Amino acid sequence: MGENDPMSWLLALLSYVFVQTLGLAIAYAAAGVFIYLILRRMHSRMMTMVLVAFFLGISLFVYAPIGLPRGLQYPFSLTTYGPAEGPVLPFKNVLDFFTRISRFEKVADIARDPNDIPPPIARTEPATVRIDITAKEVIAEMAPGVFINYWTFDGKVPGPFLRVREGDTVVLTLANDESSLHHHSIDLHAVTGPGGGAAATVVMPGESKTITFKALHAGLFVYHCAHPNVANHMAHGMYGLILVEPKEGMPEVDRELYVMQGEFYTTGDLGKKGLQIFDAAAMLEGKPQYVVFNGRTKALTENLKARVGETVRMYVGNGGVNLISSFHVIGEVFSVVYPEAALRNPIHDVQTTIVPAGGAAVVDFDLNYPGNYVLVDHALARLDRGAWGVLHVEGPADKSIFDGDLQSGGGH
Ligand SMILES: [Cu+2]
């Protein structure tokens, strides 16, 4: 039986139902039978009173601090104080998900190609730019055999790299695929207006809505779904970057790459195979199982290629939802960093730059020597959760820049 056939998903559902909810009901029923059997044997009023007191005490102990759960949900009792719905997973959603599982597209590779960037804008005058994006819920692999129900913009993580010019008028249409289970919306940090656009783009499955906005500020901006629970939607993969090029343009480079970090929270431990269930409690605690670039583990190990002599620019974003990325390329120094993607305020000669949750940075660096250069979040424990990639650089080796016998495993 494959890891991704409906039977294994059905088993995942059954284990969820029994472990998380029915388990409790079974325990209570068994306790009732237990009491009945004891009382039938003993016929003792004293025994009855002691047992009743025992169960009253236990019930008070559970009820007093947390009250009754509002419904069947995972986690069973979780009180939150956000402005809208909390991040719990209602049991009804789980059932809806499994009854409609055949409708979700199975995406062979969730990772957005880091080379998938529109070319620089040649225009010198503002224009009206049309953008169409579709919110889509899909199933794909986080790692071999580890399946995640991703919520996406255009079926990949991160969403498409959007590129406009300062002063442009953008007409953006967000559609929600008919197969979706949830409402979605889009908040672009480049937008000046209610909810960054989210207040006017809430779309039900099968629906679409259009907004128009003026790109007033140059910069590299995160966009993300902002439908409640926002953190929950983002932790399913709903984020991307929009570059608003400054009127005066940016220095030319030889190669541009799109890298976006994100966290995934699963009830199954790191590496647990099969379809994973979203863990709202882990998200509130900020303890992701997976921290990855471009949607999955090893998304950027084969497709980042460049040559000695080139200048590379990386557009680096962080979908969060909790962690701050300490972005670093092992064996390189960034010749230019636009901190927090402030495109008119570059700094120079930087080792590691911060990419805040819901923020971005732009880094340029020159390739002087061939080899494999490893991209990391330099909070290095996250490497083991997936936060790394490899830039493969080919070309002549100038021994005046570096000389030595390379050993495997000597990356850092
Ligand atoms: Cu959403």
| Ligand 1 center from residue 254 Cα (angstroms) | 35
Percentage of the chain with pLDDT > 70? Answer: 91
Query: Does the pLDDT value for residue 15 go beyond 60?
Result: yes
This prediction has a pTM of: 0.87
| φ, ψ for residue 13, nearest 5 deg | -60, -50
What pLDDT shows up at residue 135?
98
| Ligand 1 center from residue 368 Cα (angstroms) | 42
Query: Does the pLDDT value for residue 313 go beyond 80?
Result: yes
| Ligand 1 center from residue 339 Cα (angstroms) | 28
| Ligand 1 center from residue 341 Cα (angstroms) | 25
| Ligand 1 center from residue 66 Cα (angstroms) | 29
What pLDDT shows up at residue 87?
84
What pLDDT shows up at residue 3?
46
Distance from C-alpha of 315 to C-alpha of 324, rounded to nearest angstrom: 16
Tell which wins on pLDDT, 395 or 75: 395
| Ligand 1 center from residue 392 Cα (angstroms) | 35
| Ligand 1 center from residue 184 Cα (angstroms) | 4
CB burial of 207-232 (b: ≥16 within 10 Å; e: otherwise) equals bbbebebbbeebbbbbbbbbbbbbbb
State in words which class domain 256-394 has.
Answer: mainly beta
CATH topology of domain 105-252: Immunoglobulin-like (2.60.40)
Q: Tens of pLDDT along 256-265?
A: 999 999 999 9
Phi-psi region of 406 (alpha: psi -120 to 50; beta: other; left: phi over 0): beta
23: confidence class by pLDDT, cuts 50, 70, 90: confident
What pLDDT shows up at residue 1?
39
What is the location of CATH 2.60.40.420 in the chain? 105-252, 256-394
Q: Tens of pLDDT along 176-216?
A: 999 999 999 999 999 999 999 999 999 999 999 999 999 99
| Ligand 1 center from residue 310 Cα (angstroms) | 38
| Ligand 1 center from residue 118 Cα (angstroms) | 24
Residue with tokens 């929009």: 242
Q: How far is CA 314 from the centre of its chain?
A: 19
